[in-house]
Structure 1
């Protein structure tokens, strides 16, 4: 049936023979649906896939988000069958018919099996796989057709989630899995596949709300009944090895995981609220980390200034900005430039978000085993080439960092709202300001904007007065094409998917070092950097807009 779908898409002119061959090879190697591989390879969008299927087969499309399905209809198809074939029952057609939504209505094996098991004649509608996944979470949240999360003890915990479409013979679920366990499994798997950075499980008076943070925005995913609260928390406490005797107390723990071949780190936090404990699970997907600094999106001068700063034998480079995880990705990329067999690189982190082969990563403050100051004191006598410090907010830590920066490169993070704020924090500490000015080589301030979704990107017109409000001369951008995302299943109908970092890279020139020693205000120091050629971060964001990466609306939101 996969070949039949491929032939249909070829007939529509949506893919080439070579693309079909590559997708079929990927399907043979990894399993799954042909259409999913074609979309994942960016050979066509999900919308194009559905349009091609609909036109070739004469099958109508359905927006699952706009329909409400009653429980009597859902009961016609079991949860295991719904997950196995990715099918959602929509409604009865007379006495003998049943209308269902499928992502691949060419799958006659699935249709025949559904017909045999239900006793109904099956009428199909086509829906996106993303929409069906969301509907499965909504309508079959306690399905036992999902894989397990078996946990091994000792060292780093390994978590393996089997494919939710796999059967028991392939190493999938056990038939007696409790509903809460399978719900939590499916939630974690779904979050990984959708690129979520966090899962929020929140108890209220009559329900539990499950939300994913995707591209910085929270989206509600499921609302299981409140009776499952205790079971869900019990399963999570077992998974993360929490002390279950400590009730109604804040707790934190983390595990390493391999989920459907995705290496991830997960950190769970539990704290009491009015109707029970809230659960927050932070996710760091190793596959999301790019260690190539040329892929960060730095403009030419910013890239040159940063490269010069990290090429020296000593000095302090500070990474500033409001969001730690975004800064950490840049931090890891910069660390990786020194990750060679001839250099001794140590990174002190709280917590370790991504593993780096070849870097000596030290985790601090996990259950109080090792503090950051203690780790730094211990390392002062080591012959270091590069040391990374994930938090410079403490005066004592900054003091040690500046002394270390006289003999090796030191990369450190500061939580701030911009370059001025970062400079104020650094200069207002009770440390040797002259030593700080002499060792500080560069301040890299980072924020991010959401990227226009590539699957629903469309040209748009922008009125000239909008350019003027952003300080842009419309004539300088004449002839350019501007884009917005019209919204689709792949981007939760927001028009945005994934995030793009934007930067302000301030090299510390002799003039700026003198201003620091003289106690000049941070805003004057930043203005001097701009005079010397530094591009302000908002201008960097506007360049991303001019290149069709983001929108003016998103920039206005990010820098309001």
Structure 2
């Protein structure tokens, strides 16, 4: 029912024709959303579909690139659920779960979130690629930190130089920090060690904001990995180096 309703909304908005909807429904692949089918057939762009749904339902769009997500909410909804339904939890406000979705008319997902969290879900619309990027950014960091926790005590700084395997946890973590900075168009990355944690800050449009916090115990390995990538001497810690 939700699929046809989306089609009706798009027809009413003048985005597609009835013939295009019929053709899309006949060519829709298994587990493919009708919006994805329409985009694949080039009958409508994802942004046209989102705009029509927003205008019809009143669902607001959220820009995820510079949105700071409350990481506590990630413990309530696992990565597999988010990937399966293409949703990203954002935060909790007044016992309401704010989440981003590429399909704000997927009422089955809304009901599943209500049962799963015990909260009232409130949907915001966002492009699919932005949601997937945020899933990888936030849940990817969590997976990498868990892997680092398992290995933490067995790696010495002097061993980092030989650790060039792209699948090792520290290599993944540093790559994720750099990739996330590029995605957010950061001009600077600051790594600030405190007594009990390491703060990662990005400067975006002249504003320096905290984007991640890590346990202090991984700081030395993180810096050593960056030195290796930059061709610096990992044993030199007393003077500044250029890489």
User: Deviation per CA, 1:289-342, whole angstroms, max 9, x where unpaired?
Assistant: xxxxxxxxxxxxxxxxxxxxxxxxxxxxxxxxxxxxxxxxxxxxxxxxxxxxxx
Distance 1:201 1:179, change over 3 A: closer
Structure 1 residues 143 and 53, CA, compared in 2 at 3 Å: closer, same or farther? farther
**For the residues of structure 2 that align with 1:12 and 1:111, how far apart are their CA atoms?**
24
**Which residue of the partner structure matches residue 74 of structure 1?**
74
TM-score, scaled to structure 1? 0.28
**Residue equivalent to 1:275:** 228
- Structure 1 match to 2:10: 9
Q: Which residue of 1 aligns with 2:118?
A: 119
Contact 2:85/2:109, CA 8 A, preserved across alignment:
yes
Task: Return closer, same or farther for 1:16/1:97 CA change in 2, 3 Å cut-off.
Answer: same
Matched-pair contact (CA < 8 Å) for 1:111–1:122: yes
Write out per-residue CA displacement over residues 517-550 of structure 1, whole angstroms, 9 at most, x where no aligned residue: xxxxxxxxxxxxxxxxxxxxxxxxxxxxxxxxxx
Which structure has greater helix proportion?
Answer: 2
Distance 1:113 1:44, change over 3 A: same
* Contact 2:98-2:124 at 8 Å conserved across structures: yes
TM-score, length of structure 2 as denominator length: 0.60
Give the secondary structure class of the aligned counterpart of 1:67.
coil
SS at match of 2:62: coil
Aligned partners of 2:113, 2:102: CA distance in 1, in Å?
15
Q: Is the 8 A contact 1:203 1:209 kept in 2?
A: no
Q: Helix, strand or coil for the counterpart of 1:141?
A: helix
1:84 aligns to what? 84
1:75-102, Cα deviation, whole Å (9 max, x unpaired) = 23222221121111122121x2111111
Listed as ranges, the matches of 1:75-474 within 5 Å are: 75-94=75-94, 96-141=95-140, 207-210=173-176, 220=183, 274-275=227-228
Residue aligned with 1:275, SS: helix
Q: RCO (CA 8 Å, sep 6+): is it higher in 1 or 2?
A: 2
Residue-by-residue CA offset, 1:29-51 (whole Å, 9 max, x unaligned)? 34322112212222122221111
Cα–Cα, structure 1 residues 72 and 14, in superposed 2: closer, same or farther, change >3 Å?
same
Secondary structure of the residue that 1:23 maps to in structure 2?
Answer: helix
1:356-415 alpha-carbon deviations (Å, 9 max, x no partner): xxxxxxxxxxxxxxxxxxxxxxxxxxxxxxxxxxxxxxxxxxxxxxxxxxxxxxxxxxxx
Q: Secondary structure at the match of 2:56?
A: helix
Gaps of 5+ in 2: 149-165, 185-199, 201-211, 219-224, 230-243
Structure label with greater radius of gyration: 1
